[in-house]
Structure 1
Amino acid sequence: MKTIQYLTLALLMLLTVSLQAQDKNDIIITNDGKVIQGQVLKVQEENVVFTYPGEAIENTMSKSNISKIVFKNGREQTFSQGAKAAQPPAEAVGAARGTENAAGEKPTFKVEQNMMAVLPLMFVNQETGELSEQNSKNAQHMIHEFYEKHSTNIRPLALQDTRTTNSRLREAGVNYNNLDEYSIEDLQRALGVEYIVFGEVTYTTGQSNISSTYGNVDQKKKSDNKSDTKVSGSTYSTERTKFDYKVVVEIYKNKDKIYSKSREPFGDTDDSWQSAFEYLLKRTPIYQK
């Protein structure tokens, strides 16, 4: 009887340890002190593949940017670049959570050369002055995806993922409403990047009428070989909202503005601003055809 009790107790202990292990995450510590929690799927020759908690999307990070991985089973893997880490792990955890230092300052990061961040865009209705947070993020992701798709055209530049960008901006107290209140130097220190891509979309709306006529055409021949044409039918009119956009793209390297252009798209649909962005992005000095 006692033997059965001991076996039952041992099984319960093993089950408890197993469940605790499942609740833990792997921890990736980057060279700039950032702490990323998630599940490490693969440690490849040049990259580490991982997922964020609760997500299935696989993310890839170069091993040259990683100082250490602490796996949930307690095993640690240190990379040769670890000596470059700007902060010890304890400080890195605090910075990743947005904590302030003793002087009350927001966390800043060492600027990484050839790293580029795409900021949320100012998306403004000129008639009301209203800013759209959703459109701001949509435009940010659109530009980021464009550069990801054309990564070979912007080498040797690398992209900071938008999750990291927006997280660090939030820690610094920056959002789509107050972007223009911060200097480029402050934004670079808050993000740890050398290049910043910033944009603005302003627009007005109006109404456009589209008319269509439906009916029959009758022709009757006269004695003088001429035709008498009669049109009978109905005319229908529909109304739609048209958008008049102006798009601006600016790129900064360190504190210097290296590109600033604007464009008005040819179309007037609600998504016509996207084609204007693509036109401008392909003509920036960082884009090599």
Structure 2
Amino acid sequence: MKKIKPLLVILLLMITSISFGQITKERKPDRIIKKDYVIIEAFVKKITEKNIEYSMPNEDLINTLDTSHIGRIEFANGKTQTFTEAKENNDVSNTSGSKHDPSNIEITPNTIAILPVPFVNTETLVTSEELSKFAQNDVYDELIKKSSNIAPLTVQDPRTTNSLLRKAGIDYKNIDETSIEDIQNILGVDNIVAAKVSYTVTENQSSYGSTTIKSGQKDKATVSDYSNTNKNMKYEYHIYFDMYKKGNKIYTKNRSPFFTTKDSWKDSLTYLLKRSPIYIKK
């Protein structure tokens, strides 16, 4: 019996070790968000006044990062720690849900950016990256064509917009989860166009045909039938359109196109854009 007890102890230790390893493996990493909006997903080990220590998932190597480069840390347990620079030295403060420090971000006056336009199928909840960028470029082209109507605003190129958003870990799928103030700081603009399109697609079928009877030889008649079926796709869109200036919503409208063709969403977006506060009729 005395020999069995040590074996049980070893077995229990092995089970505990395996369970602890599984818990550690399943733990979500923290999010270190740098001031240039680069996001590092890692496990924070230690925080001091001058730097933090962290390790990447599945690695034991300890990395060090200067706190002057960090905007905030979003811990896996839901807490947030924001890092702000004081005039004389670095000051670390703990807050929950605080916003980015815009002191080192240059906002160019009289600039406007068009965000990617999410297209969401309301039945399948599937989004389309191609349609999102296509609609974004369509709004951009409309503003460029009517640049004299939106003076003195300058429109940011969508390539620049999307590149800056990508560096911050934002795309058409999660753009609704980011505050407009943060997006404004990321893009360096003071005006933003944010639109969204929900849609459904249905198929309508219509059939038509005819029957012809012809007399043939020896008083025999021949019958010929002709029929055809047309398939028509019906697109029902609903467009949501918002405009922001310096973080404040200055215009919000929504509209459904009268027609149900594939490209009918374009007319509604243009309609809402021309009735926004930035557009001056000439």
Superposition TM-score, scaled by structure 2 size = 0.58
SS class of match (2:193): strand
| 1:273 counterpart (242, 246, 265) | 265
After alignment, is 195-204 or 105-114 more displaced? 105-114
Q: After TM superposition, give the deviation of residue 141 of structure 1 in Å.
A: 0.3
How far apart, CA to CA, are the structure 2 residues paired with 1:150 and 1:250? 19
CA contact (8 A) 2:37 2:168 kept: no
Q: Choose from 84, 96, 104 the match for 2:70.
A: 104
- Tell me the residue number matched to 2:229: 237
Cα distance in 1 between the residues matched to 2:246 and 2:125: 30
Q: What is the aligned counterpart of 2:162 among 159, 166, 176?
A: 166
Supply the distance in 2 between the matched residues of 1:266 and 1:192 (Cα, whole angstroms).
37
3-state DSSP of counterpart to 1:105? strand
Paired residues, what number? 183
Asked if the contact 2:191/2:246 (under 8 Å) is kept, the reply is yes
Contact 1:109–1:191 under 8 Å retained in 2: no
Q: CA deviation at 1:268?
A: 1.5
Partner letter of residue 69 of structure 2?
A: A
Write the deviation string for residues 205-241 of structure 1: whole angstroms up to 9, x where unpaired.
111123444678xxxxxxxxxxxxxxx9744221132
| CA displacement at 1:95 relative to structure 2 | 5.5
- Give the equivalent residue in structure 1 for 2:249: 257
Where in structure 2 are the equivalents of 1:126-165 lying within 5 Å? 126-165=122-161
Structure 2 segments unaligned to the other structure (5+ residues): 1-34, 41-64, 73-101, 213-223
Runs of 4+ off more than 6 Å: 96-101
Aligned-residue CA RMSD in angstroms? 2.9
Query: Sequence identity of aligned pairs in percent?
Result: 42
Tell me if structure 1 keeps the 8 A contact 2:129–2:172: yes
**SS of residue paired to 1:261:** strand
Equivalent residue number for residue 191 of structure 2: 195
1:246 counterpart = 2:212: no
Unaligned residue ranges in structure 1 (runs of 5+): 1-93, 217-231
Post-superposition shift, 1:281? 1.0
> For the residues of structure 2 that align with 1:268 and 1:215, how far apart are their CA atoms?
33
Task: Report SS of the residue matched to 1:267.
Answer: coil
SS at match of 2:69: coil
